[in-house]
Amino acid sequence: MMNYFPDEVIEHIFDYVASHRDRNVLSLVCKSWYRIERWTRQRVFIGNCYSITPERLIRRFPGLKSLTLKGKPHFADFSLVPYDWGGFVYPWIEALAKSRVGLEELRLKRMVVSDESLELLSRSFTHFKSLVLVSCEGFTTDGLAAIAANCRFLRELDLQENEVEDHKGQWLSCFPDSCTSLVSLNFACLKGEVSLGALERLVARSPNLKSLKLNRSVPLDALQRIMMRAPQLADLGIGSFDHDPESEAYIKLKNTILKCRSLTSLSGFLEVPPHCSLAAIYPICPNLTSLNLSYAAGIQGSELIKLVRHCVKLQRLWIMDCIGDEGLGVVAMTCKYLQELRVFPSAPYGNPAAVTEKGLVAISMGCPKLHSLLYFCHQMTNAALITVAKNCPNFIRFRLCILDALKPDADTMQPLDEGFGAIVQSCRQLRRLSLSGRLTDQVFLYIGMYAEQLEMLSIAFAGESDKGMLYVLNGCKKLRKLEIRDCPFGNMALLTDVGKYETMRSLWMSSCEVTVGACKSLAKKMPMLNVEIFNENEQEDCSLEDGQRVEKMYLYRTLAGKRKDAPEYVWTL
Amino acid sequence: MGSYESELNLKATELRLGLPGNDEPEKRSCSLRSNKRSSLESGVEESRCKTNVNSHASDSTTTSDHDQDSVQPAKVQAVGWPPIRSYRKNSLQQKKVECDGNGMYVKVSMAGAPYLRKIDLKVYKSYPELLMALQTLFKCTFGEYSEREGYNGSEYAPTYEDKDGDWMLVGDVPWNMFVTSCKRLRIIKGSEAKGLGCL
């Protein structure tokens, strides 16, 4: 029936369909819908930059305006992927520049971004508006200077947790006076200084600026002047909060904060004085929906607790574990609308005032709307997890990291199978799960049985046999990403259902029991997969015998074939 | 403040190369555990371990002193564990290093030492770190700290001169308060230390 509608009508209807998934489904209905969909598609998400070539993407979606690309495997975040593995954005920008794509937005995660690529980007797309770089590396402030100088209609420059080399070139001063379009500027991850005068002038001429995140080089007095010029800010990242409580600058700041009634999101506090008091912030806390103090290492637990008591509207809280179980109890009492909680360790191996299962249980009792959790803690119990599962059946993301990876239930000494089992059984919408603590194959049986919506699973130091991995591969029909480290899963688990991997984005296995021979066999059976093994052996002897255990394997489905930019230690079988 | 007892548990810093469960009197259960652990831990120890793997792992967590044990370094030490983004990890550590000229250098003297040293207090985030540094610098050991008895069972104890000119035992007040009030440090001998502890 729909075929009798003119294309324009169908296009108009498609305008209302925004999500990538829905769009993908539309394109599969029939040839004419495929055709209309590809011409009207503006936003594309590529979860693995090696799954398709840029040329092929551009051919299919000539109207592309916004591209999101992800590069390295997730475990690269934890230094498990060697340097130079790949994920270079340059070929993408080059291909887009050559084509007639009017790129306006580029969002990259875990990619290698060179200054050259930023320069090319800045010169190639007249209407380029938005650059978001998350966990990327390879560029310096020179590349940022090119973006600032050349992107005349830039609205967003958002740098999150990137390793950026500072070349002291005053990149921020490169924004021309004619640039007045900024809506969002985040340079919190930069280590070097910026010209404070240029920053203040930039803020003054950006009436649409809603989000500003400063780095630690921006001192308190500059912060105060900036806030005076931008009372419309909704999202603020404070760089340095280091001050003398008696100083005039601090008193001025306190008064300025009172005027910032639009602030709903606060982060930063990258530099704080010893015994830092956050009293200056209390007046705006009741308006906050998002608070990220996960980099505010100097703030004591007691001060965090005092602050949180004012944050009655909080929906998102990222905090350090020095808040303690007691502090989480206060969060539970105060933040009734909490949806997302992340508790980070203040020292990689722990802290006496850190959090345990008690804090998590308290949160689950007080915050029924909680759906996303990342929780680093010292210990956990099955009883606590069962309680949490009962109280919060709405979890979409549940990531628990017990710092001692092999630790069992702190009370019963049993593995934590039952606890995680309760989570997957109760939280039917669970899409992402990270496990830790002592776990047998039983937990995977539960996951395979109950986690029907699970898309991403992270496993470390868990399981007893191939059965564990097989339960997951057989049971989780919607699984897209599986990452496993230090588990006794081997060839049988890997090879039992090779077709499964074509339904997934990727599989990572490191320090498991798979051998070279099995990987070769898999690669042979599945030409649509790239099976990469990393041979980080220093020796020149390059022959890998079939029986040899593979230290790291990363496989992913792809339409692009074997990649040409792999370094020497990567063997694509 | 009881938490400082556990902070100063210096057992955590000892190098251990023994087998799992070596020096722990309590060994509850689980052939299951030891089977799995031996294969896992040998994997961990083989390939990626740092030198001081505290492989007496879960057994030590069966003791009743949860507080003390919770301070010890993770029982599994491997590359990429715990899973914290390297950017975040580096950022936490950077706070120690990037003190750019505003360091809080204080003199440290020790009874009998030929010359004084200077250390930057801002480099340390807690008492255990400071004490470890002092012990390394002066090749001495402090005993276990307790509120009641100071540094018990050792030859030396750390003291400091505060803003009022009084000599205080290191460890009594919250870390931040200590850092802002410490003018200089002095490591005193056990006999002197007992005197302080009795105050």
CB-nearest to A461 from B40, B72, B87 is: B40
Question: For residue B128, is the peptide bond before it cis, meaning its omega torsion is within 30 degrees of 0?
Answer: no
A322 SS3 class: helix
d(CA B139, CA A480): 54
Cβ–Cβ gap A405/B75 under 8 Å: yes
Locate the chain B residue with the closest alpha carbon to A441: B36
Asked whether the beta carbons of A433 and A424 are under 8 A apart, the reply is: yes
The pLDDT confidence band at residue B192, using thresholds 50, 70 and 90, is: low
Nearest to B43 among A440, A460, A486 (CB): A486
DSSP A490: B
A178 within 8 A of A206, measured Cβ to Cβ: no
The whole-angstrom separation of Cα A388 and Cα A408 is 17
Question: Is B59 an interface residue toward A (CB < 8 Å)?
Answer: no
Taking the CA of residue B35 and the nearest CA in chain A, the distance in Å comes to 10
**Strand, coil or helix: A341:** strand
pLDDT in tens, B116-153: 888 888 888 888 889 988 988 888 888 888 888 788 77
Question: Does A404 contact B74 at a Cβ distance shorter than 8 Å?
Answer: yes
Contact A131, A157 (CB under 8 A): yes
- Nearest CB partner across the interface for B80, out of A75, A404, A488: A75
At B13, the amino acid letter reads T
Mean pLDDT in order along chain A per 10 residues (573 residues): 75 86 88 87 95 95 96 95 94 95 97 97 97 97 97 97 89 95 97 93 97 95 94 95 84 91 95 87 96 92 95 97 95 98 82 84 96 95 97 97 92 96 98 97 98 97 96 97 96 96 96 94 94 77 79 95 90 86
B82 with A401: Cβ contact below 8 A: yes
Interface of A with B in 310-329 (CB under 8 A): none
Q: Which residues of chain A neighbour B30 with C-beta distances below 8 Å?
A: 413
Contact A186, A158 (CB under 8 A): yes
Residues 407-436 of A with CB under 8 A from B: 407-408, 410, 413, 434
Contact A407 B43 (CB under 8 A): no
pLDDT at A383: 97
d(C-alpha A473, C-alpha A480), whole Å: 10
At residue B19, the pLDDT reads 47
Phi, psi torsion values for B108, nearest 5 degrees: -125, 125
Task: Give contacts of B126 with chain A, Cβ < 8 Å.
Answer: 347
| Residues β-bridged to residue B142 | B156
Cβ of residue B91 closer than 8 Å to a chain A Cβ = yes
> What's the CA gap between A173 and A194, in Å, rounded?
8
Measured in degrees and rounded to the nearest 5, phi and psi for residue A137 equal -155, 170
Burial class of residue A528 in the structure, from the number of CB atoms within 10 Å of its CB (0-12 exposed, 13-18 middle, 19+ buried): exposed
Q: How many DSSP H helices and E strands does chain A contain? A: 19, 23
Residues of B in contact with A378 (CB under 8 A): 70
Say which of A80, A348, A408 has its CB closest to residue B84: A348
| pLDDT averaged over every residue in chain B | 64
- Which letter, b or e, does each residue of A213-231 get, where b requires 16 or more Cβ atoms within 10 Å of its Cβ? bbbbbbbbbbbbbbbbbbe
* Cβ A291 vs Cβ A337: under 8 Å: no
Contact A254, A233 (CB under 8 A): no
Q: How far is A126 from chain B, CA to nearest CA, in Å?
A: 32
For B174, name the nearest residue in chain A, comparing CA atoms only.
A275
At residue B36, the pLDDT reads: 36
pLDDT tens by residue, B55-103:
333 333 333 333 433 444 345 678 888 999 988 988 876 554 333 345 6
Q: Which of A191, A406, A551 sits opposite B57 (nearest CB)?
A: A406
A275–B176: do the CB atoms touch at under 8 Å?
Answer: yes
Contacts of B20 in chain A (CB under 8 A): none
Q: Closest approach of chain A CAs to the CA of B77, in angstroms?
A: 9
Residue listed under structure tokens 């009655």: A312
pTM: 0.78
| A-B C-beta contacts closer than 8 Å | 137
CB contact under 8 A, A407 and B75: yes
Please tell me if residue B52 touches chain A, with a CB cutoff of 8 Å.
no
Question: Is residue A507 classed exposed, middle or buried when 0-12, 13-18 and 19+ CB atoms within 10 A define those classes?
Answer: buried
Query: What confidence score (pLDDT) does residue B61 get?
Result: 37
In contact, A364 and A391? CB cutoff 8 Å: yes
Q: Do A321 and A345 meet the contact criterion of CB atoms below 8 Å apart?
A: yes
* A346 touches B: beta carbon within 8 Å: yes
In this predicted structure, the answer to whether residue B10 has a pLDDT above a threshold of 90 is no
More confident residue, B56 or B4: B4
